[in-house]
Structure 1
Amino acid sequence: MASEGTHLDPENWDDFGRDMHALLDHCLERMKNARDLPWRPKPEDMGSRMSLRAGTNGVGSERAMQHLVQDIMPFATGNTLQGSLAGFTARACLSRWGQSWSQQR
């Protein structure tokens, strides 16, 4: 069990919940508009700006979420298009259905 002062629990669960809901809304909006978003290379100094240093104090969930949305998500890599998620979901469902169907025959 963690001693007092060493846990990662938010100081205020209501504020944390509000911030997480706002982040989810932003993520959904980003996915909805993914086709219109330009690809952007990450800044050269991003690695040094993102590094964690020992003894660094936390910034709280609101600032952490702002940092994620403003400084990280615009440079996200990978395929975030809706079609990819839909395709993945469909393939996973069909694969499971196919296995189930072939076992019944």
Structure 2
Amino acid sequence: AGKDRTGMGAVYLLSALGVDGHTIRQDYLATNDLIQPMVEKNLAAARKHGATDALLANIQDLGTVSGAFLDSASATIDAEYGSMRDYLQDELKLTPAEKRDLRELYLQ
């Protein structure tokens, strides 16, 4: 459904805006609160059709986000690029002027 790509896109944007890591994590995990009704509907339908515990666990895992996913992505970025700041600058080619423009657009 794109939740993982969208979630990481939000992580990149919030990082570029200078939002602290704790707030970024809370925002990322808020997806679960919003998506849980759909996940519950999918789980109920699967149970109705005799889904195994393994399938139910997969539906739950694929339908939600996990702090462990974010931690893994962050650790990979740190290991490969040094920091999120370096990743944004060196890989996504986000310039200081563009960061300033983003802050003006979204924080004013």
* TM norm structure 2: 0.26
> 1 or 2 for the larger relative contact order (CA 8 Å, sep ≥6)?
1
More helix, by proportion? 2
| TM-score (norm. length: structure 1) | 0.27
